[in-house]
Amino acid sequence: MLKAWCMILTAGKDWNGVPVDDIQQHVADLAAYVQKMEMEYNHSRPYKKKIFPDVPGAEGGDSYRFYLALKNACEGRKFLMTDNGYLGLGPAAMLEDDIVCLLCGSVMSFVLRPIDKGYEVIGEAYVYGIMFEEASSSEIALEQFAMI
């Protein structure tokens, strides 16, 4: 679950904007970030309150590196959840009835909006579990449609 949230929050990219190649290090960076946020939250409070669970690996992580990845991925984006329960980040302009689509030959999914007899491309989306050939065609409905 931690890996999934780590990848969703950063759209699967590292601080430099390239796809994560060392997932363990990426999760350690998240752990360090969470630990730092908790320390900052409790710094000025007389009664310390634990708001995040302990995340293993924080000592080997870099909180600033995760912050950069988070900032780059989330700026101008919002969370999405598909009808099938997949979670991800999509363009800020997406609406509830938009659809998430993985176009043949593409590693990136897109948010499309049905209009008239076609679709309008709203923007790119990162959806954990269907990116980069993670999902098989047996898990996701395949559909052909025409772009206008």
Q: What is the pLDDT of residues 98-109, one digit of tens each?
A: 999 888 777 788
- 77-93 mean pLDDT: 93
Cβ neighbors of 132 (< 8 A, separation 6 or more) are 12, 19, 107
d(Cα 19, Cα 22) in Å, to the nearest integer?
Answer: 9
Predicted TM-score of the model (pTM): 0.78
Residues 10-65 have pLDDT tens digits of 999 999 999 999 998 999 999 889 888 887 777 776 666 666 667 766 778 999 99
- 129-144 mean pLDDT: 60
Q: Report pLDDT for 74.
A: 94
